[in-house]
Every structure is written in structure tokens, then in C-alpha cells.
Amino acid sequence: MNIDNLKKEIKTVEYTGGYEEITYRTGELIALCPKTKQASIYDLSIKFTPDTKTPDLDSLKSYMSQYLSIPTRPEHLAHQIYEDFDDVIMPVDLYVVLRAIGRNGINTIVEVGSDF
């Protein structure tokens, strides 16, 4: 699957609540390292203030599982998730934190958006 088409996996549900922050977190995001083709494991947090939509959580899980077959670096992955979530959900505020589970003693943390 093309990385640019992944956002089609995210389905939405109507949000009727008030102004609040929602955080989704998973330690089950896996993508392929483009150099080694080995699985890279990530801890992902998506913090947002919804406007009129939230993601259907089953579809969000399906969206994340698609990265298992896509070679990508953590910096690109964090930005791609941010852009896809922003395009589909259109939140008032959005903040994405991606932590690569360290290999070779190097930990990578990528933050996109502003921590509101």
C-alpha cells in the first residue's frame, strides 16, 4: 500500500462532546526500517481536541497496522501520522509524539504539533 493513501483507512464517528482533550496511546505501532528491513517498534501518543469528529478506534488500529509493511523512518512516520490525522479528523488542536524503542542504544523521540 502507498503511504500517501493510508489515511483512507481512518473512519470517523461524530463527536458531540464539549471542549476536551483526548489522548490515544499505543505501544503496538510497528514499521519497517528502510535500511535493515527489520521491524521497528514505536510508542505513539496522539493528543487532540476534537471539533466534530473522532476516529473509529478499530479503523485507527487498522490504519496503524498498515505500517508493518512500509519502510519508513521515525521522522517521516510521525509527520505522516500527524498529517493524516489532521486531514481526516480535523481537530481543533493536535500533538503527536512518536518514540522509537531504542536499538543500538539510541532512542528517538519525534514530536509534531504543539503540546497544548
The residue with greater pLDDT, 3 or 14, is 14
Mean pLDDT of 68-87: 94
Mean pLDDT of 58-83: 94
Question: What's the pLDDT at 28?
Answer: 92
- How many Cα atoms sit within 13 Å of 34 on the Cβ side? 7
63 vs 57: CA distance, rounded Å: 10
Is a pLDDT exceeding 60 seen at residue 1? no
Confidence of residue 59 (pLDDT cuts 50, 70, 90): very high
The residue with greater pLDDT, 111 or 104, is 111
Is a pLDDT exceeding 80 seen at residue 103? no
Mean pLDDT of 55-79: 94
Residue that is written with C-alpha cell 481537530 in the block = 91
What structural domains does the chain harbor?
Answer: 3-113 (3.30.1130.10)
